[in-house]
Structure 1
Amino acid sequence: MTERDTVAALKRLAGAKPEFRLSELQEDPGERQSLERLAGEIRPHLDGLGLTLRSAGDDYVISRLPEGPFTVSDIGRLRQLAFFRNPEIPDYIQQLVEAYVGRKTGKAPDDPAVLDRMRNAILVQKSQYWKERQVSYRKAYPVLGYLAYHAPVYLVQFEHIFWQLINQGLAKPHMRILDVGTGPGVVPLAVIDLLGRIGSGTADIYAVERSEEHFEAYNALVPAAAKTQGNMVQVHKPIRGDIGTLAARDLPDRIDLMVFSNVLNELRHLDLEGRADLVARLADRLAPDGTIVVVEPADLANSTAMRQTVRAIANRGLTIHSPCSFIWETPCNPVRCWTFEQKTNINPTRLMERLAGGADGYRFINIDIKYSSALLRKDKKTQQAYRVPPGAKVARLSHLHQHVDRKINVVAALMSGNLGDNRTKVYKVCDGTPANPAYVVVPATLRGPNRDALRDIAYGDIVRFYGALVRFNKDHNAYNLVILPGTRIEPIGCSGGERDGTERV
């Protein structure tokens, strides 16, 4: 049977049944291929036919792609929110990592010599990072150190981001996901874990990686995790290549979600414009309603560099969906834009606790989740549709220098949780216009309803402030909007997201 005949038979079965086994197609007269070869032949045609394929024991199940937005059941939502309140790397992933360490070293994961070499690899990586040098993953132990120290935090971190996509209506019941610079597959593992926990949604996972050691770890961990979680995620063989030289035509198309997780900051041979060119070039493979996620560490250098890169990407035709809002419809100047999110700490993994068992053990515990991220779209969709009405009596944050020591009205997005303490509360705000950072300050002496008025405002939501007092902070070259007893605070922009009991900073 020719490939055209096979596709025609596939169409007939799909038209007659919402779900069927690949073995039924194999039984079609003239079809003599093995199930594995047959699956490989039909995969390129599935998306165009609105079908999905997942393995089921010795067979495969073919079903129609669900239509409409991705919805999560109440039980699934409760499970995921419970996970975020006390995040812990699931046992099946910890077992896979420990087994991989054993296979690579030929020794038990708690062998003292193995742990010492992993500690040394972690210390070298941390030193390279803070010296802003390229971190190398050409040998086994740097990858094992990455899996033990960095991967647990990055996995939970991406579950937060993926959950945000679902809550904001940016996810589909079936997602085609491309992880660019996947490393050992942390982003795919996060997707697999989240979908398995909530019990709904499916995905095709594609990935690009240049490191042979990361490539090997990916193939050992990701397909096995997908199988453990019921094959809701179809894992495709990762593409071996350097993303800096990779042509867009070498990647799958109609991608719903393209992820650059802790990747762009490592392209130290490229300047800001070069990184933006790279992302814009690969964005050619996005679906018309696809989303790009860029996420980087929360430290000052990487966070501000990420915001500048995202602004440059937007200048190449994409739209910043969130967390930034451009309520004055003007481009921003992100040179001093340091804003990030902070979530509930994870519990240490077994491997992390073993590494911390020696001297200076605290140096091998990594449980803080802090990251800077941005979502970009091709279809102009944004998280916040609010724009300042013409003639509104509110000041732009870029004009605060004209209003020092005066009470004014402003509209801005809340871009942090409390950066101060329990007495003096400080929140970063932005309206897309300021060159110098602006903060809302709740003085320690303030009493009344305004003291906690910002406590439940979500990251990225828009707020009106009437009668805030402008002060200039010479030490930080920044402006403060001091909340007074008579200041009126009105939330006007809602992200539509769901609070998960964590902080935004």
Structure 2
Amino acid sequence: MTGTGSLQALRDMTASREEFLLSEFAARFYPGIELPVLLTTLLPALSRLRLGWETRGSSDFRIFSLPAQAPFLLPRETVAMMEARLSTGIFDDDLQNLIERYIVQVTGKDWDDPVVLQRIRSAIMQQKGQYWKEGKARKIGYRKGYAVLAYLAYHTPVYVTQSAHLLLMLTRDRLLPARARILDAGTGPGVFPLAATWFARTMPGFSAEIFSLERSDPFIEAYRFLAPRYSAGMDSLTIHPPIQGDLRETDTLLLPSSLDLIVLQNVLNEFPGTPGDKAAIVTSLSRLLAPGGCLLITEPADRESSTGLRITVAAALGPDLRIHSPCSFIRGRQCRPDNCWSFVVRPSLRPTRLMQRLSGEHEAYRFENTDIKYSYAVLVRDSRRRHPYTVPGNAPFLPFSALPRHTGKRVNVVGAVMSADIGDAGTHVFLLCDGTQSRPVYAVLPRYHCTPDNRYLLTASYSSLVELRQVLVRYNQKHQAWNLFVSRTTQVLAAEPEGNAPGQ
């Protein structure tokens, strides 16, 4: 069975009818093939034609057309309200209560029982010890009861909050439809479904059908407790039971088709294997995207995980899979992914009740996980980009690749802001990228040089494009990087016309 042949066969079948049984399709085009095997093979073709499926009876499947969806649009005031709410760092009390209730169910003791807390502490420390190992020694697993409770206590509040920020980002970029079909691949205890539930609670008009994939039995048990209870009574959400399976075997799994959003959150860095192995997971899943869908990958902000994400994405790209954001291709080139340590910083989370009890009076540094920092990439199967801008051929801007020839000179440049302010009390520092550099490039603005003409650098959002006019080029030998010094005579401007910039 070829992809082209199955696609044409499905087109022929849907030419006169909006739904049909897979057994009818098989009898006409592929007699003798077992229906589950046939359906698994057809998933990419179903997705290209925006067709869904569901079981029918004990041995058949109903194939049906899915309506095209308009983007979920939010007024600017609503976006601002949502951002303000997230910036408070308060983790939802209902979800805190559910996590505490689940600990009671699993242990048979109060959630803050001293013995329970000590075992969760031990599991957290063991997970942190494994996480910071490198190479083959790094083995991260959540297959035992207290390992999952530790994950719920230490990681889940941060990851759910991070996911809420990302859902808002996708909405601003008009990538999320009003009725979204979402697959959270490697869901753990249901991190993205829980975030989507919070999002739907907060945002009237948003609805979703949510699927999840997870291989760990203890995680699936936690998911089945948390997700249905948190979303109870919400007609806007349909949350399916998790599919049990391994991400590395997606080509053989019976997964949903025609997805508007596929999420790989803090998953790929935990798998052994080469960037090519991880890229194969990404490309396999991307074939399940509906027209106009997107695939979101996030990883922790540490250097190894962040650059690993960029390397994996670069290996996955091709004619049918491209970067929407945060990278821009203003000069038609992509930077070296192994040199791209770039991440987002959002307002910190306030410690949950459980974190506070685990920390006691003296161990907040061990058991309070509150930093919201992450690297991400959004991939699409078409030509959409957050920033479609390209540098005009006659523009008076020096590419970063030419900086070595202009050391000690003042130049004009344009690039994307790829970090928060990573400077200190006396100096603002931002990572920049135009896709041409072989070494990191930073914009450096001493506080005493801040003026109304260059202050835009301090408010430019992550991935936004800026012009820097009359910056001084210097090379930092210690850090093997280029510094662009912004002074009182420097102008910093938005590189895109106001009407073309996304609502970031």
The alpha-carbon deviation at position 444 of structure 1 amounts to 4.1
Match of 1:104 in 2: 106
Q: CA deviation at 1:79?
A: 4.5
Q: Does 1:265 align with 2:256?
A: no
Partner residue in 2 for 1:19? none
Task: Verify the 8 A CA contact 1:158 1:190 in the aligned structure 2.
Answer: yes
- 1:359 and 1:117, CA in 2 relative to 1: closer, same or farther beyond 3 A? farther
Q: Match of 1:200, SS?
A: coil
Q: Could you say if the C-alpha distance between residues 370 and 424 of structure 1 is closer, same or farther in structure 2, counting changes exceeding 3 Å?
A: same
Q: Residue 197 of structure 1: CA displacement? A: 1.0
Match of 1:356 in 2: 359
| Structure 2 contact 343–374 (Cα < 8 Å) conserved | yes
Q: Provide Cα deviations, 1:296-345, integer angstroms capped at 9, x if missing partner.
A: 00011111111111111224631111111111112321111111111111
Q: Which residue of 2 aligns with 1:152?
A: 157
Change in CA separation of 1:497 and 1:194 when aligned onto 2, cut-off 3 Å: farther
Are 1:369 and 2:372 matched, yes or no? yes
Q: How does 1:35-50 map to 2 (within 5 A)?
A: 41=56, 48=65, 50=67
2:325 aligned with 1:322, yes or no?
Answer: yes
1:491 aligns with 2:494: yes
Q: Counterpart of 1:220 in structure 2: which amino acid?
A: F
* Equivalent residue, structure 1, for 2:10: none
Residue 447 to residue 351, structure 1, CA distance change in 2 (3 Å): closer
TM-superposed CA distance for 1:71, in Å, is: 2.2
Displacement of 1:47 after TM fit? 6.2
Return the alpha-carbon distance in structure 2 between the equivalents of residues 77 and 333 of structure 1: 34
Match of 1:192 among 191, 197, 204: 197
My pick for the range that moved more, 310-319 or 291-300, is 310-319
Question: Which stretch of the first structure deviates more once superposed, 128-137 or 312-321?
Answer: 312-321
Equivalent-residue separation in structure 2 for 1:248 and 1:320 (angstroms):
26
Cα offset for 1:140? Answer: 0.2
Checking the alignment, whether the CA contact within 8 Å between 2:19 and 2:65 is kept in structure 1 is: no
Structure 2-normalised TM-score?
Answer: 0.84
Equivalent of 2:71 in 58, 65, 69: 69
Is 1:208 aligned to 2:210, yes or no?
Answer: no
Name the counterpart of 2:251. Answer: 247
Equivalent pair of 2:387/2:502 in contact (CA under 8 Å): no
Question: How far apart are the structure 1 equivalents of 2:63 and 2:117?
Answer: 45
Mark the CA change 1:122 to 1:78 in structure 2 (over 3 Å): closer, same or farther.
Answer: same
What amino acid is the match of 1:96? L
Alignment deviations for residues 169-226 of structure 1 (CA, whole Å, 9 cap, x no partner) = 1110100000111100111100110111112211011111011100111111111111
**Structure 1 residue 393: Cα displacement:** 2.6
Structure 1 gap ranges (5+): 9-38, 51-64, 500-505
C-alpha displacement of 1:113: 0.5
d(CA) in 1 for partners of 2:328 and 2:79? Answer: 27
Q: Which amino acid aligns with 1:442?
A: L
Amino acid at match of 2:144: K
Does the residue aligned with 2:65 lie in a helix, a strand or coil?
Answer: helix
Q: Name the CA shift for 1:408/1:7 in 2 (closer, same or farther; >3 Å).
A: closer
Distance 1:47 1:109 in 2: 46
Shift of 1:383: 0.3
Residue 92 (structure 1) aligned to one of 82, 91, 94: 94
- Secondary structure of the residue aligned to 1:208 is strand
Q: Is the contact between residue 192 and residue 232 of structure 1 (CA under 8 Å) also seen in structure 2?
A: no
Partners of 2:19 and 2:64 within 8 A in 1: no
* Partners of 1:318 and 1:165 in 2: CA distance: 18
Give the secondary structure class of the aligned counterpart of 1:258: strand
Match of 2:474 in 1: 471
Contact 1:79 1:198 survives alignment (8 Å): no
Tell me what 2:228 maps to.
223
- The 2-side partners of 1:260 and 1:151 are apart by 15
Q: Is the 8 A contact 2:454 2:490 kept in 1?
A: no
Give the residue type in structure 2 aligned to 1:392. A
8 Å CA contact 2:414–2:466 kept in 1: the answer is: yes
Change (3 A) 1:249 1:441: same
Alpha carbons of 1:49 and 1:180: their partners in 2 closer, same or farther (altered >3 Å)? closer
Look up the match of 2:123: 121
| 1:75–1:198 CA contact under 8 A, matched in 2 | no
Task: Decide whether aligned partners of structure 1 residues 498 and 384 sit closer, same or farther in structure 2, where only a CA change above 3 A counts.
Answer: closer
The Cα shift of 1:453 comes to: 2.8
1:394, distance to aligned residue in structure 2 (A): 1.7
Cα offset for 1:401?
1.1
Equivalences for 1:259-338 in 2 at 5 Å? Answer: 259-268=263-272, 270-315=273-318, 317-338=320-341
Contact preservation (8 Å) 1:118, 1:145: yes
Q: Distance in 2 between matches of 1:176 and 1:196?
A: 17
Structure 2 unmatched ranges of 5 or more: 1-16, 21-53
Cα offset for 1:359?
5.3
For the 8 Å contact 1:77–1:198, the answer to whether it is kept is no
Partners of 1:450 and 1:75 in 2: how far apart?
27
Higher mean alpha-carbon deviation, 180-189 vs 408-417, is at 408-417
Render the CA deviation track for 1:135-177: whole Å, top value 9, x for unaligned: 1211100000000000000000010011000011111010000
Instruction: Please tell me the root mean square deviation across aligned C-alpha atoms, in Å.
Output: 2.4
Partners in 2 of 1:155 and 1:465 — Cα distance?
36
